[in-house]
Amino acid sequence: MVNPRILVILLIPVSTGWLDGEKIAMAACGDEHTVVLTFGAHVYTWGDGSDAQLGQGSYVSLVAPAIVHVPGEQNADELPGDSLASGPHDLKPLQNASFVAAGARHSLVVTSRGNVWTW
């Protein structure tokens, strides 16, 4: 039997407090995942990650937001193809994001210089 209290919590909006301290500039939703851009130009994802749509380097699903990391230098305005050879040990938080979008099973970020990161 389903606990009715859980149903009430799921049916009404509640503040999670997950990104307290961050100012949200934009959010995008896929079928079962969310992508958030902060005014600090950081990108967070959470939800279903079964198609790697969270950009976390795995197929793991997340119930709370996690910052997206990208290969290469600290600057996400570098072209992705230029940094892929650096390996997973060189992952840095994606920076300089200015736009986020989400499809059914993918996510996309545009940087302040117009470069596109997608996964």
Domain boundaries, the chain: 23-118
Average pLDDT, the chain: 83
The neighbouring-strand residues paired with 36 are 27, 44
In the structure, what pLDDT confidence band is assigned to residue 76 with cuts at 50, 70 and 90?
very low
Given this model, what pLDDT does residue 91 score?
A: 85
So what's the pLDDT on residue 14? 77
Tell me the two tokens of residue 109. Answer: 């970020």
Average pLDDT over residues 84-109: 83
pLDDT tens digits, one per residue of 25-75: 999 999 999 999 999 999 999 999 999 999 999 999 999 999 999 886 545
How large is the greatest C-alpha to C-alpha distance in the chain, in angstroms? 53
